[in-house]
């Protein structure tokens, strides 16, 4: 397939064309299932980023001035092309990220939900209209696109997150620059091809590959009016503080430490199944993955851990090419090593090993970055393994004696992305919803990710600013409001100067 | 009158009571019409601010947990009390700000529009509800108050701006700390009394007086979840960058340089009347005051300047106690001197004096901070007087040969608060609305301030972040969204672990 | 008190003044607690109604052309006046309806919720604004008041229902004609006085007293653009069919047969308390009163009936002047007799008497229309007492073996106003919400009446048309949308005739 | 092509299959360009309609219970299929309606706008969610589909109107029965094929062919919950009155008599071009076609008529197979004769013939139902030709001396669908927008049809009820609201019976 061949040496996508990098600096792209390098991606210089911004800036006025309907037509064609090329895109995702095909299919589907919402951008950016607010003045508002906007994406969803970040931005008339993770750039470039095929004018969609140097240019360049970031909390904070220092509009979504509370009235077998899928799926590399479980009561805890031990023991780690695989490798060698370090220190701090995934069978025959599923019991809130987001298949059990204590444990954490409770009791669910300091809350739903027409956003250090990863609120983030007060004077109307502050509609 | 007497030595308003300052540092409050000191206001220490924050934090949980209807009831009583005490409040405003009674009445009325909108806070913070987004999951969102939030207000609207900033914040369940301008703190303290009388629980409303030290504590203290600032662009930028550095939600609205374009088809007498009121009213100390006029075409310009010269000559500057006064003094001696400096430099740079307000008649007999109306013609875009916001009665004429040129002149300015065009031609108005890079736009409306149920916000360096001074968007600024995915499992349902990414509503 | 004296012979309220009736036909107004006539109310002729309509029509244009803000100001004053005169209004309500003071106070409070929402009418009737929907066309909509609109009210809420029906109608700029129940006209006339005092222009608010003759004129007169009815299902259907036959917009809300399902996991004492208040309060004369209870399971049923029997035995029926009274008399002698008939026939059909309220103690000493609380067990769905809405204190128990059966029983009824379930189980609540064919649904809430900022409306034969009794939807019912497509042509633009159907924004 | 062959003898489309008619009654389908019969369509019996309703009723529960996302997926596939089969659909439209290919293409495009909006049905039917409205009660609403709903379509837009009427109905979960015009049933059957191909479950989409007998069953059958009609005012009124008599929800949109006001400041050549296209396009058979022009002032009128005479003389009437054709024949022989009658009577009443289209050249060689463009000047408001909607290429000039008079002429008409003004003057446009009693208003836009994300609806006798032909309001028409009050009781909470009316959130 031609795309594949072209991208062995990957490019940027600027002004409607693949453009080779000029910096001489590169980053390797691996197949995590084999450990092999499959491509190298150029890391842009500031100057290259500036050129990309310039081409986006030039494309903006014409794109903005198209009617919303014409822009939507292109978004619809893009949606159709993603669907038609889904199988090819799945292979690309799997190869560069190591996730299973089912998982890749799921992420495309969820990503398309953001495209679906963007189809109705013209409806969503309507302003408001009032007749005669006073003094015969009609007052109305409109929402205009910002200009050049940037999105910076993480490695864990090579397609879903970029679509979530950018679809509404494109549809509302902005020129978008995407800087994908340098670990998974191939999917982003493939999407670029589809946008072009859908008829998007050159320059409206840009992919610039790079590292901190590219990011800094995006954050500092005054032509970039908004920055939308999804990634780790550490970098999200940097992006928020730096972007706002340059007076930009910034959405910066960080990591999560997401817990499941299991109440004593729950069917533990069901709860265990829900936990395992949500905890270890995608090798736990999701910001909404369940990080741990908090059973309420000793009996509940003991039973649940026993069930989990049994079920986790049957999980199959392997490559996406094997249909039996439950989850694949982690993204890199460095990541694998870091995860092993977390496990060691947790054990040192007193955590108890329920299942040990440090040396999975497949690691003996493959150079892929594999880790099996590890579960640690008796984790306490002062341990590192509790405090840190761990992007790999080591999950924890924290014991609590009451719902109140369980809520307290979760609220003590600095992150607040996702959380869930398993119970059949309405009162417990209500109390939990009210008191939990977390942005996305599940009740008997293991991964409470909103659908595309609701808003995705965490609380506390999981989200800097007021932005969302996707959802209707994107239409506000990517537009600015203009409010117009309109009056028409008949020639000859008598007036005189009004010095007092106008208190009925902007005029006497 | 008892309030007056108490506040000669002014206090803070903390936890439902007037509290004396402890810093030993004070700022003088003047009557600008006489130049006399009428009170002194304590400047809070960081420790005092921390105590105020602590009392607000303690009041928050109970206030938040009241039903929206009960909070609204208190807001309605407050509204009624402001109305009933309007005349007294007008005198306070006039004495500390120097503005005319009509102007003060107007600002109260406009401030109440924000209270009116806040009455319907329960309607405005509704979340969204979806049935069966997939997998039998119902998904819904709610908007929760943030906690302790701060508002920092300017001197030019002692009542309107604080009400605009805080009404929705209170009504949505936050605990609000207002730091008013140290030049006009008496109005804010008076409002505090009314809130208490309306039944607002102690600690929900706080007034802390102070300067940069107090501001910095508000910006840095982690218990303050959001900061809402209205003032100069310079300070707005500082507040935005500092507040966001501490990961806060920040709205920071700055100054304006607001122009009126006069098209040749306009009735110039009407346009001149509109300009004069909007330009010199309140001694030009409004962020939406007209700063200058751009007549299109030499003939239009010459005629308009002649008419303005004649009309401006008849304006009366004086104290608010004189009912004939068109506008009063500027806020301070320093301000008066700064304005005189702007005029000198403008003349040095080549501007032409149309009317000279530097030595008004009243200044010969009064120590008030009076300046008459100055108009400068032939101002160019490279002069200081064009570039800087001047908060005093010196206004400018910039000449243009076409609508396109006039739009270009305005768009070249770094500020983008308000703007207006006077014309009878629909096509001219449409072009202007489309192309002008300004947030609030008038068509034959001299001061296009939105009514309270539309959003007030400028563009460019007139507004940092995405906040508004008032309007429906306040309901979003002062709340955070929680999204819940709810499912109820019948005991015994068969499930198994789902590893693929959930693509229909958060679960298999 | 002057109002009282004037209204012994009651009047209409037309064009801002009390106007005597001319028909010579009257209806008596009783004090249900004593059985005495307290006033007589004139029944309008068609000609009188036409004159009222004419005065409303004349008042409309000026009221419509006021700014929304000015209309809101009057609504706020009205709200304040109702609050200030609340105690007096409570006495009026109690005297003409027989309900308790606490109940009257509650209905005023709930009625004010509709006034609260109407304060924000300007916000709620905003249209939508779109820039460049194609061909340089801006498209926007506005919502205009309809003109003369009529409300027809029932006797059971002399204040709340009229306020619910009319507040948004007034606030959005319509001229409103209220025809109150001829049994409780005094409250409506009192409200008229307050509207006038609040500054509402003459003719905008009219009260016309009458019977079917007046109603028919309102339904047929072409100047009445919309009719809003609340009352019995029989009349609601007549109003809907007749009003629509005259091409009007009609909202017609009818009666209810509202059940409470009690699940076995419920605390039966709590459930019994909830039932009794919601079932017998106001002598069961509420369209949202609980008509019956459906315990699930024999054991639940037997226990619940025993508890109810005990508790109902302690209820106190009496006049509102006695603070110990739980509920008062029914509205009229005819009503009392009808209710006794229902009980007789129910017993004939096999229902079992749990408590017998047919001869309450107080009836021995008072001529008031008193009935004690009757509870009938073992009621079946084919009995009259199940099928008919009974507006009096006879309530029923229907037994079911499962939640599914209970839902089926309720869905088999032709009415669908309110319903509730008592359970602690989330799954049961979810199933119930999903499957029940009723408009207003409670979960552990005995009377699930929405608050004023949500919409009140039943399903099936409880509501004809798509109207609501109150809530945000009223803003749509009382306005009509105008959609404007605006383009401005520069002189000299070249065009040619476009014959194909315009497919991008209404024009080539 | 296979569809064509199958449908020579046309069928109904019931339960996912083409089903032959059984009544023995048929109506002919013509090619209006040739006058030849191209098919015959069965006219359903009441029993056949009942069977169709039954199959729809059976399909409803499963369709309703699908997640919104899954329904949207099918809508998107349908949209794609319409696009892919556009050329074939254009030929079908042209052959059975006689309109030009450009016109057919335009109507498909506009029809797809309704499908686009329906893609976001899940977003548009969100309910509202409130936390703690009082008494710890959370209150929320949902919008549920109605069940079986019917749409009845006119002949003039064989595709656009059915898509406008039904797309949101399908997407929100209803089972839809379309009764297309018996003159153009082939397009509707073709659409049915595409819905099936898109994956719509059998029974969710039905086409029943028929005449008044079928319509009456749809109006009377209690399983049909809503009826959506677009057609003539006479039938719309019948549908509204009959459907509501059976207590249904009814939208009934009728005809228009749409005028263009031409102000003296307008470029008359531009105005004439705009008028001619909008007036004679599609042989004037559009409910939004311009029926007449009202020039303001004698000079404007004389000049405009002269220009129109010249331009109309050049128009080409002919078959759609000729690319030069400006517009085609009218729909039927009966229609042609009726139109000729209107012209005769107008001339009798004193109208003056500007251009005479009664005997177009093509009528000499073709049996198609051709009429050339006729323009009548000096039409008065008391003539039949002014009062009646004429669905054919005879248009009128009504003279006025002022804008006020022109507005009065239009407002005197019983219809109020569309209207437009041509002027460059903002004040004239504002006055016109305010005072005109018409639902869809243009300013320099000849046919002010809203785009699909705005609402299409006329006023007065152009629209019975509150429905729209398309637009966001469809989401409300095709759903009913359920409001839920939810509280969770902790076991053991103390309560007692509350008899007073609940005044804070539905409970004490």
Residues of chain C by 3-state class (helix, strand, coil), percent to 5? 40, 20, 40
CA distance C277 to C288: 12
DSSP alpha helix (H) spans, C313-350? 333-348
| Nearest residue to A280 via CA among A331, A251, A230, A316 | A316
Closest chain A C-alpha to C426 CA, distance in angstroms: 5
Taking contacts as CB-CB distances below 8 angstroms, the residues of chain A near B245 are: 241, 244-245
Establish if C107 touches chain D: CB-CB under 8 angstroms: yes
Q: Do B464 and A247 touch (CB under 8 A)?
A: yes
The pLDDT, as a whole number, for residue C7 is: 54
Domain spanning D258-443 has what CATH number? 3.40.309.10
Paired strand residues for B305:
none
Q: Do A130 and C429 touch (CB under 8 A)?
A: no
Establish if D493 touches chain A: CB-CB under 8 angstroms: no
* Contacting residues for C466 by C-beta, under 8 A, at least 6 apart: C251, D249, D466, D476, D477, D480
CA distance A479 to A226: 10
pLDDT 10s digits, D89-126:
999 999 999 999 999 999 999 999 999 999 999 999 99
Q: Among A92, A112, A171, A287, which one carries the catalytic annotation?
A: A287
The residue length of chain C stands at 508
Note whether D2-254+462-482 and D258-443 share their fold.
Answer: no
Q: Among B171, B268, B287, B436, which one carries the catalytic annotation?
A: B287
Whether residue A33 lies in the annotated active site:
no
Let me know: does C202 contact C59? Beta carbons within 8 Å: yes
Taking contacts as CB-CB distances below 8 angstroms, the residues of chain B near A450 are: 139, 483, 485, 506
Place of tokens 């789902």: B498
The DSSP symbol for C281 reads: G
Name subunits touching A (3+ CB pairs < 8 A): B, C, D
Place of tokens 């601010």: B49
The pLDDT, as a whole number, for residue A508 is: 33
The pLDDT, as a whole number, for residue A498 is: 74
Establish if B30 touches chain A: CB-CB under 8 angstroms: no
CA distance A105 to A85: 11
Paired strand residues for B250:
B227
Q: CB-based burial of residue D372 (10 Å sphere; 0-12 exposed, 13-18 middle, 19+ buried)? A: buried
Q: CB-based burial of residue C367 (10 Å sphere; 0-12 exposed, 13-18 middle, 19+ buried)? A: middle
A7 falls in which pLDDT band (50, 70, 90)? low
In a mutagenesis test of the A interface, which of B427, B503, B505 is the best target, namely the one with the most A β-carbons within 10 Å?
A: B503
* Contacting residues for D228 by C-beta, under 8 A, at least 6 apart: D149, D150, D151, D152, D165, D166, D169, D250, D251, D467, D477
Mean pLDDT of the residues in chain A: 95
Whether pLDDT at D490 is above 80: no
Pairing of strands B374-377, B290-295: unpaired
The pLDDT, as a whole number, for residue A505 is: 40
D474 falls in which pLDDT band (50, 70, 90)? very high
Taking contacts as CB-CB distances below 8 angstroms, the residues of chain B near A487 are: 442-445
Whether the CA torsion A283, A285, A289, A295 is positive or negative: it is: positive
Q: Do B69 and D425 touch (CB under 8 A)?
A: no
Among the partner-chain residues B106, B456, B486, the one whose CB lies closest to the CB of A503 is B106
pLDDT 10s digits, D440-466:
999 999 999 999 999 999 999 999 999
What would the two tokens of residue A158 be? 């090579």
The pLDDT, as a whole number, for residue B508 is: 33
| Nearest residue to D359 via CA among D384, D336, D378, D381 | D336
A 10 A CB-CB count for D410 gives: 26
Question: Coil, helix or strand for C103?
Answer: helix
Taking contacts as CB-CB distances below 8 angstroms, the residues of chain B near C116 are: 72, 76, 119-120
Paired strand residues for C410:
none
User: Which D positions 436-455 lie with beta carbon below 8 A of chain A?
Assistant: 451-453
Among the partner-chain residues B126, B434, B488, the one whose CB lies closest to the CB of C430 is B488
Taking contacts as CB-CB distances below 8 angstroms, the residues of chain A near C135 are: 67
Taking contacts as CB-CB distances below 8 angstroms, the residues of chain A near B446 are: 498, 507
Among the partner-chain residues B128, B132, B134, the one whose CB lies closest to the CB of D128 is B128
pLDDT 10s digits, C144-180:
999 999 999 999 999 999 999 999 999 999 999 999 9
CA distance D477 to B113: 34
CA distance D326 to A494: 50
Give Dmax (Cα) for chain B: 92
What are the residue ranges in chain B where pLDDT is below 70? 1-7, 490-496, 503-508
In a mutagenesis test of the D interface, which of C503, C504, C508 is the best target, namely the one with the most D β-carbons within 10 Å?
A: C503
| Nearest residue to A171 via CA among A117, A126, A113 | A117
Of C495 and A9, the structure prediction assigns the larger pLDDT to: A9
pLDDT 10s digits, A406-427:
999 999 999 999 999 999 999 9
| Nearest residue to B354 via CA among B346, B365, B364 | B346
CA distance B142 to D131: 7
Question: Coil, helix or strand for A205?
Answer: strand
Place of tokens 């609109």: C149
Q: Do D127 and B128 touch (CB under 8 A)?
A: yes
Let me know: does A181 contact A357? Beta carbons within 8 Å: no
Pairing of strands D440-443, D418-422: parallel
DSSP alpha helix (H) spans, B120-152? 121-124
What would the two tokens of residue A372 be? 């099996």
Of all residues in chain D, the one with the smallest CA distance to C461 is D247
B-to-C residue pairs, Cβ atoms closer than 8 angstroms: 63
| Nearest residue to D271 via CA among C487, A291, C457 | C487
Place of tokens 């009845």: D152
pLDDT 10s digits, C98-140:
999 999 999 999 999 999 999 999 999 999 999 999 999 999 9
pLDDT 10s digits, D299-323:
999 999 999 999 999 999 999 999 9
Let me know: does A464 contact A485? Beta carbons within 8 Å: no
C489 falls in which pLDDT band (50, 70, 90)? confident
Q: Encode burial over A222-243: b for 16+ CB neighbours within 10 A, e otherwise.
A: eebbbbbbbbbbebbbbbbbbb
The pLDDT, as a whole number, for residue A500 is: 74
Average pLDDT value for residue range D487-502: 68
Let me know: does C109 contact D506? Beta carbons within 8 Å: no
Q: Mutual orientation of helices C86-97 and C185-198 as an angle, nearest 10°?
A: 160
Q: Among C53, C93, C274, C287, which one carries the catalytic annotation?
A: C287
D8 falls in which pLDDT band (50, 70, 90)? confident
CA distance D294 to C290: 61
Whether pLDDT at A180 is above 90: yes
What would the two tokens of residue A361 be? 């069978």
Among the partner-chain residues C274, C282, C433, the one whose CB lies closest to the CB of D501 is C282
Both ends of chain A: CA-CA distance in Å?
70
CA distance B508 to B489: 13
Whether pLDDT at C216 is above 70: yes
Q: Mutual orientation of helices D212-220 and D46-65 as an angle, nearest 10°?
A: 50
Establish if C426 touches chain A: CB-CB under 8 angstroms: yes
Domain boundaries, chain C: 2-254+462-482, 258-443
Give Dmax (Cα) for chain A: 92
Whether the CA torsion D62, D63, D65, D66 is positive or negative: it is: positive
CA distances from C470 to C72, C121, C236, C478 (A): 18, 13, 16, 12
Q: Do C424 and A425 touch (CB under 8 A)?
A: yes
What would the two tokens of residue C182 be? 């001829």
Pairing of strands A224-230, A148-152: parallel
| Nearest residue to B72 via CA among C103, C474, C113 | C113
Q: Do C106 and D492 touch (CB under 8 A)?
A: no
Among the partner-chain residues D241, D278, D500, the one whose CB lies closest to the CB of C244 is D241
Q: Do A133 and C67 touch (CB under 8 A)?
A: yes
In a mutagenesis test of the C interface, which of B66, B67, B70, B76 is the best target, namely the one with the most C β-carbons within 10 Å?
A: B76
In a mutagenesis test of the A interface, which of D110, D427, D443, D475 is the best target, namely the one with the most A β-carbons within 10 Å?
A: D427
Whether pLDDT at A1 is above 90: no
Taking contacts as CB-CB distances below 8 angstroms, the residues of chain D near B142 are: 129-131
Establish if C142 touches chain A: CB-CB under 8 angstroms: yes
Whether pLDDT at A6 is above 60: no
Q: Do B488 and C429 touch (CB under 8 A)?
A: yes
Q: Do D134 and B429 touch (CB under 8 A)?
A: no
> ipTM, 2 decimals?
0.94
Name subunits touching B (3+ CB pairs < 8 A): A, C, D
In a mutagenesis test of the B interface, which of C453, C471, C473, C493 is the best target, namely the one with the most B β-carbons within 10 Å?
A: C453
Q: Among D287, D331, D383, D409, which one carries the catalytic annotation?
A: D287
Among the partner-chain residues B70, B424, B504, the one whose CB lies closest to the CB of D426 is B424
**DSSP letters for A125-174:** T-EEEES-SSTT-EEEEEEEE-SEEEEE--SS-TTHHHHHHHHHHHHTT-
CA distance D422 to B385: 43
The residue length of chain B stands at 508
Q: Encode burial over A363-374: b for 16+ CB neighbours within 10 A, e otherwise.
A: beebebbbbbbb
DSSP alpha helix (H) spans, A249-380? 268-280, 298-312, 333-348
Give me the phi and psi of B400, to 5 degrees please. Answer: -140, 150
What would the two tokens of residue A492 be? 């000859």
What would the two tokens of residue B219 be? 């910006």
Among the partner-chain residues B120, B427, B429, the one whose CB lies closest to the CB of C489 is B427
* Contacting residues for D333 by C-beta, under 8 A, at least 6 apart: D35, D369
Let me know: does B203 contact B16? Beta carbons within 8 Å: yes
The residue length of chain D stands at 508
Q: What's the CATH fold of domain D2-254+462-482?
A: Aldehyde Dehydrogenase; Chain A, domain 1 (3.40.605)
E-strand spans in C444-504? 459-460, 463-464, 479-486
Tell me the helices (H) and strands (E) count for chain A, helix number first.
17, 22
């Amino acid at each position: 397939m031609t795309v594949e061949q072209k991208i062995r040496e990957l490019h940027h996508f600027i002004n409607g064309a693949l453009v080779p990098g000029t910096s001489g600096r590169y980053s390797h792209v691996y197949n995590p299932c084999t450990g092999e390098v499959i491509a190298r991606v150029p890391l842009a210089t500031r100057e290259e980023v500036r050129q990309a911004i310039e081409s986006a800036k030039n494309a903006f006025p014409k794109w903005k001035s198209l009617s919303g309907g014409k822009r939507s037509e292109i978004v619809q064609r893009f949606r159709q092309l993603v669907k038609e090329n889904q199988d090819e895109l799945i292979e690309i995702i799997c190869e560069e990220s190591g996730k299973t095909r089912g998982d890749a299919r799921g992420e495309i589907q969820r990503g398309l939900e953001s495209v679906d919402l963007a189809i109705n951008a013209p409806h969503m950016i309507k302003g408001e209209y009032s007749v005669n607010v006073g003094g015969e003045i009609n007052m109305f508002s409109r929402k205009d696109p910002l200009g050049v906007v940037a999105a910076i994406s993480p490695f864990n969803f090579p397609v879903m997150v970029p679509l979530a970040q950018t679809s509404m931005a494109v549809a509302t008339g902005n020129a978008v620059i995407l800087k994908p993770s340098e670990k998974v750039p191939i999917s982003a470039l493939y999407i670029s091809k589809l946008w072009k095929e859908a008829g998007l004018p050159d320059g409206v969609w840009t992919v610039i590959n790079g590292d901190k140097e590219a990011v800094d240019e995006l954050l500092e360049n005054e032509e970039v009016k908004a920055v939308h970031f999804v990634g780790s909390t550490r970098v999200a904070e940097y992006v928020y503080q730096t972007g706002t220092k340059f007076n930009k509009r910034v959405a910066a979504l960080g990591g999560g430490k997401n817990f499941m509370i299991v109440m004593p009235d729950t069917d533990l077998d069901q709860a265990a199944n829900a936990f395992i899928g949500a905890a270890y799926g995608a090798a736990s590399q999701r910001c909404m993955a369940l990080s741990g479980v908090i059973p309420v009561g000793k009996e509940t805890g003991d039973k649940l851990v026993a069930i989990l031990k049994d079920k986790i023991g049957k999980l199959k780690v392997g490559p996406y090419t094997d249909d039996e695989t439950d989850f694949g490798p982690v993204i890199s060698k460095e990541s694998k090593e870091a995860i092993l370090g977390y496990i060691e220190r947790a054990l040192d701090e007193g955590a108890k090993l329920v299942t040990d995934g440090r040396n999975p069978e497949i690691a003996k025959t493959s150079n892929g970055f594999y880790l099996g599923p590890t579960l640690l019991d008796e984790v306490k809130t002062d341990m590192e393994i509790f405090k840190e987001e761990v992007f790999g298949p080591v999950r924890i059990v924290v014991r609590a004696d009451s719902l109140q204590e369980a809520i307290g444990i979760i609220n003590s954490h600095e992150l607040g992305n996702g959380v869930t409770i398993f119970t059949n009791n309405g009162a417990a669910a209500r109390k939990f919803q009210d008191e939990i300091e977390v942005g996305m809350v599940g009740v008997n739903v293991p991964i409470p990710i909103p659908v595309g027409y609701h808003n995705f956003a965490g609380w506390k250090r999981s989200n800097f600013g007021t932005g969302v990863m996707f959802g209707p609120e994107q239409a506000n983030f990517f537009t600015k409001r203009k409010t117009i007060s309109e009056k028409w004077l008949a020639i000859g109307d008598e007036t005189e100067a009004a010095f007092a502050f106008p208190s009925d509609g902007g005029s006497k």
